[in-house]
Amino acid sequence: MEEDKTLYIAGMKSQSLVDEPGYTVAMIYLQGCNLDCGFCHNSSLIPMFTAKSKKTSIAQLLEKLEDNFLIDGVIFTGGEPTLQQNLLHFVKALSEKYKVIGVDTNGTNPKLLAEVSPFVTRIAMDVKCAFEYYEKVVGKKVDLEKIKASIDFLCKRSRESGRVEFRMVYAPPVISIEDVMAVAEYLSLKGFTGKFKSYFVIQQYIPSDGVREDRRKLYQTMIFDKLQIIAQNVKKYGIPVAIRCQEKGYFIID
Ligand code: SF4
């Protein structure tokens, strides 16, 4: 086992029942993100380095997880986990011990995603909006070819090798129904399937404390009933759809 590799870890939630349906997982929050989404609920994790983030080795992380008997696995989230190349060494090492290993991503590093893919049980990629509005929504210059390459790769993974979630926060008026439909259509064209329990997940916007105060009110929170109507419309593209919201948790649309 490789023990000298480190990651900048901002914090850990020792148990989550909602981040990987059917499993109890520990959430590992990696510091740093290359985007600046206005609705980000972990905005304190955007700077690459902070006084709170710690360089943590694989051995140190395993030691922290050691007494956590109830977990089935771990999810690497952030921030943007794929900014740190050592993620690969961590998922390899942890996959030897746990049955569930997940990575959350914004899709800006398709190369590292492809490298970690064989060692993880699910990859969740946020797709923010229709491509023409991307830079406005994520607040940064972004290489859309890399976003598209990640989507292509993950659609292929959903057909051939493992679970994928494409996630989209529905947050009007900035993220509209048209955005949701454009993304759903694109996923359908790219051959996204529901094999391995993969889903396109429409997420409720929650104005939590993690969202920067000056941006919190720029977006509306949609109730479950409205999300369900949108999700039913998305079904016409023939892709698997679910909703994640406060009222129902993780809700699969039949
Ligand atoms: S990509 Fe994710 S972590 Fe980064 S700013 Fe956007 S919502 Fe926040």
Domain range holding 13?
2-253
Q: What is the mean pLDDT of residues 30-45?
A: 96
Sign of CA dihedral 232, 233, 234, 240: positive
pLDDT at residue 51 in the model: 82
Q: Best mutation site among 30, 40, 211 for ligand 1, i.e. most ligand atoms within 8 A of its Cβ?
A: 40
Q: Is the peptide bond before 79 cis (omega within 30 degrees of 0)?
A: yes
Distance 59 CA to ligand 1 centre (A): 28
Q: Best mutation site among 28, 31, 46, 206 for ligand 1, i.e. most ligand atoms within 8 A of its Cβ?
A: 46
Q: How many structural domains is the chain composed of?
A: 1
Q: What distance in Å separates the CA atoms of residue 50 and residue 40, rounded to the nearest whole number?
A: 17
The answer to whether the beta carbons of residues 32 and 109 sit under 8 Å apart is no
pLDDT at residue 176 in the model: 96
pLDDT at residue 50 in the model: 85
**What's the pLDDT tens digit per position in 68-121?**
999 999 999 999 999 999 999 999 999 999 999 999 999 999 999 999 999 999
Q: Best mutation site among 126, 128, 137, 216 for ligand 1, i.e. most ligand atoms within 8 A of its Cβ?
A: 126
Q: Is the peptide bond before 172 cis (omega within 30 degrees of 0)?
A: no
C-alpha closest to that of 131 among 116, 145, 118, 150: 145
Ligand 1 shell residues, CB under 6 Å: 33, 35-37, 40, 42, 46, 78-80, 106, 126
Distance 214 CA to ligand 1 centre (A): 16
Q: What percent of the chain has pLDDT over 70?
A: 99
Strand-pairing partners, residue 29, are 11, 77
Helices 177-189 and 224-234 meet at what angle, rounded to 10? Answer: 40
The answer to whether the predicted template modeling score (pTM) of the entire model surpasses 0.85 is yes
**What's the pLDDT tens digit per position in 176-191?**
999 999 999 999 999 9
Q: What is the three-class DSSP state of 250? A: strand
Domain with residue 162: its CATH number is 3.20.20.70
2 pLDDT above the threshold of 60: no
Of the given ranges (1-15, 43-57, 72-86, 208-222), which has the lowest mean pLDDT? 1-15
